[in-house]
Amino acid sequence: MMPDQSARLSAQMAFLNEADRLKSVLRATTLVDGSRRENSGEHSWHLALYAIVLADQSAPGVRIDRVIRMLVLHDLVEIDVGDVPIHSANGQAHGSAVTQKAELIAAKRIFGLLPPDLGAEFMALWQEFEAAETADAVFAKALDRVQPVMANLMSGGGTWVEYNVTSDQLDARVGSKIARGAPRLWDWVRERTRSYFDAP
């Protein structure tokens, strides 16, 4: 093998080994059976599966294969920053300027392990996801929001109980993002969250 090919492969493998650490980043959400907290690696896998299965919920023009790629890499920054739960700090920590700055520094370090062409591709996809402006990113964000809702519904409340979340807070923090990317999906889910929150 030519030395530059070997150096390229070494960079690719160093990145893939570093990425393994995402399996040790714990989220607030539990598994569907409530047995333990979910990690961000398996969460990212589940979202890729959501994208394949729920492709028919996306807007016309959404390219599902780009959505899958975004979802596979969207949480890698958490290797350095950790997961910031949506409902923590009364909904104020997730997406805050402080969190965003730390995540950008993490993205530069982690994607910087890759050969430059791949690093630039990953950075662009991650920033597109974070900005949530393109149709692909809007759908990816909707899936990222709906998967924990399903886990909470299945496990008897989950983070809603832990963070004293109300039905209105759920609609504002989560439902709005799901409705934007997958309105029929939110209709279906909201019927079920209302039953949960309205239960005596």
- The answer to whether residues 136 and 176 touch, using CB atoms and an 8 Å cutoff, is no
Residue 29 gets the label, from left (phi > 0), alpha (psi -120 to 50) or beta, of beta
- Contact between 133 and a second copy per CB under 8 A: no
Part in contact with a second copy (CB under 8 A); list of ranges 78-86, 126-134, 147-155, 159-167: 147-155
Binding string, 17-46, against a second copy, x = CB under 8 A?
Answer: x-xxxxxx------xxx-x--xx-xx-xxx
- The answer to whether residues 70 and 137 touch, using CB atoms and an 8 Å cutoff, is yes
Q: CA of 122: how far to CAs of 64, 68, 154, in Å? A: 17, 13, 33
- Contact between 99 and a second copy per CB under 8 A: no
Part in contact with a second copy (CB under 8 A); list of ranges 61-69, 97-105, 134-142, 167-175: 61-69
146 residue type, one letter: V
Part in contact with a second copy (CB under 8 A); list of ranges 2-10, 86-94, 126-134, 173-181: 2-10
Distance CA 198, CA 178 (A): 20
Distance CA 192, CA 200 (A): 15
Q: Which residues bind a second copy (CB under 8 A)?
A: 1, 5-6, 9-10, 12-13, 15-17, 19-24, 31-33, 35, 38-39, 41-42, 44-46, 48-50, 52-54, 57, 65, 68-69, 72-73, 114, 118, 147, 150-151, 154, 184-185, 187-188
